[in-house]
Chains A and B, each alone.
Chain A
Amino acid sequence: MAHIKKRWDLLCWLLVAPALGTRIFCTLYPILRTVYDSLFQINKIRRINRFNGIGNYIQMLQDTNLLDTIQFTAIFTIASIALHTLLGVGLALLLNAQFRGRKVLRSVVLIPWATPLVVAGIAATWAFNDMYGFVNDLIRRVLPSFSCDWLVGLATARWAVILVDVWKDTPFYAIMILAGLQSIPADLYEAALADGSGPVSSFFRITLPNIAPLMCTMTVFFSLWRLTQFDLVYAMTQGGPGTSTSLLSYRTYIEAFKNLNFGYASAISVVLCLFMVVVAAAGFRAKKHLDFET
């Protein structure tokens, strides 16, 4: 019996080996290597490669550009997630409603999800153009003298980036929440209806408590994706004006492939991973709390 069990285990290991091996080679090994590299001063132009201890991390504390980048990464994540939650839950309710044309709506919401982020970003560069972009063109139909060069101003550029991100990913968030809505048993609503509770009160008493754990999980996932966002800023603003829309991933890229400071870039990306761990830990602790309550 033990012999058969051992052979069975061996077979399973063999079957998972290609997938697991690829993941270990292409993701786990490099991440450990990045942590190791972050302790070195590596510059490809000047051909430097020497041990630097925590020197890169100390340098980060004095790098005001980087602190700005961390600040915008936080603003971007929080603002975008707040809008995702608000609009996403609303859209999920709409997707769940029974009406003719639901099939069309469900196809349409997949379009932003499937649109390459670089395409959305590069189109947004032109869409937010003061003179010829469609955003200002639509605003001018209501306010004829309106003028705003979105991507040139600091605050407006930040808002534009956040808006494009929300356009692109809120439908995806809504689809995730829709899955949760569909798993709520219908008799809960029927019971509430019999008790005479209206749609608003049944939303707060039944719907919200039932999807809260899923919302919590999705908030964690979507926050992690926001923290590592790269394509949008690369295509849309290139971190500008100045470095005001630069995100941590983008700064890492610039440091590594433009300034060729591989050691410092590694250190920045390690800090990014630490932020992600903190967000994930906080989120899953909150979810445990919610699971316990419901």
Chain B
Amino acid sequence: MKRHPIKTLGVWFLAAVTVAVIVFPVWWIVLSSITPKDQLFQTPIHYFPVHPTLENYRGLLEKVNLSSLIRDTAVVTFFAMSLSLLICLLAAYGFSHARSKGIKAAYALLIGSTFLPMISTILPMFELFSWLKLCDTYFVLILLYTNNFIPFTSLILVSFMNQLPASLEEAARVDGAGAMTVIFRILLPVMKPAVTTMAIINFILCINEFITPLIFTTSKVSMLSVGITMIPRLNQYQVPWDNISALATIMLVPIVLFVCLFEKNIMSGLMAGSIKQ
């Protein structure tokens, strides 16, 4: 199709503005992390590195226990991601193959419960887990993260499973295969794109999760998202930007790489969620 040159130019211009607005703050964070501390208190700001240094990272290592932050975040992320995928895959089979009205109602309840605000559910859970002495454990974080991921993961997997032809599993069932065999041997390989997409999305949501670790951890388990708020502030309006920008960069770089690498998967997953609502 023939394109109007002015229209193409306009699209390019708007795209460039959008990219600038999004990337600029991220660039500024990364740049601050390699800028010597005294230059952070100078105006005007240089938007290209003048005297790049790793001094801010060294200072950060003295203030926070970076290795335990990364270790705890990795452990919780890995288990919450795997567990949510496993139980949602099983549930998706149940929900998409159910004939009873009860299960369909349960599905509606499960999806609807997404909107119950976390702040309203967290108080009783905090009391309960304090009483059980389970706060500050991997267990409680993995359980609550998984719980947060269940509705959206189920929604995506159920809608994907509903699109699969029934003939796919009929042959196996005639041969006498049980539900587990059907799910893991026959459906799982076909559902790989949906499962991968949800793994990627849940990975990012794990790193983003904040209020749960804020309330359920104090000292033994420490997550990156809370760790960055724990670097002591000078006052309400002043933060130790040298160290914070360093930790922010450590968190942002893998996320940005991840997003660029898996752009197609994430887009398709999010858009599937949009249409299904």
Q: Could you list which residues of chain A lie within 8 angstroms of chain B, going by C-beta atoms?
A: 5, 8-9, 11-16, 18-20, 22-23, 26-31, 33-34, 37, 90-91, 94, 97, 99, 101-120, 122-123, 125-127, 129, 131-132, 134, 137, 140-141, 149, 151-152, 167, 171-172, 175-180, 182-183, 214, 217-218, 221, 224, 227-228, 230-231, 234-235, 237-238, 240, 248-249, 252-253, 256-257, 262, 265-266, 269-270, 272-273, 276, 280
Contacts and interface: CB of A to CB of B under 8 A. Distances in A.
29 contacts: A8-B99, A9-B103, A11-B179, A14-B94, A18-B90, A19-B91, A26-B144, A27-B121, A30-B121, A37-B123, A108-B22, A110-B267, A111-B26, A111-B259, A113-B270, A123-B248, A126-B245, A134-B24, A167-B22, A171-B22, A175-B274, A176-B270, A214-B275, A217-B277, A234-B210, A252-B120, A265-B123, A266-B120, A272-B120
A15 B91 contact: yes
B41 interface: yes
A203 B67 CA distance: 52
Contacts of A217: 277
Give the 3 A-B residue pairs with the shortest CB-CB distance, closest first: A15-B94, A179-B271, A19-B91
Interface of B: 8, 11-12, 14-15, 18-19, 21-26, 28-29, 32, 40-45, 87-88, 90-91, 93-95, 97-100, 102-103, 106-107, 109-110, 113, 115-125, 127-128, 143-144, 146-147, 150-151, 154, 179, 204, 207-208, 210-211, 214-215, 225-226, 228-229, 236-239, 241, 244-245, 248, 251-252, 255-256, 258-260, 263, 266-267, 270-275, 277
B251 A116 contact: yes
Q: Mostly helix, strand, loop or mixed at chain A's interface?
A: helix
Nearest to B96: A12
Contacts of A105: 15, 18-19
Q: Mostly helix, strand, loop or mixed at chain B's interface?
A: helix
Contacts of B144: 26
A137 B43 contact: yes
A19 B225 CA distance: 26
A105 B260 CA distance: 10
B270 A111 contact: no
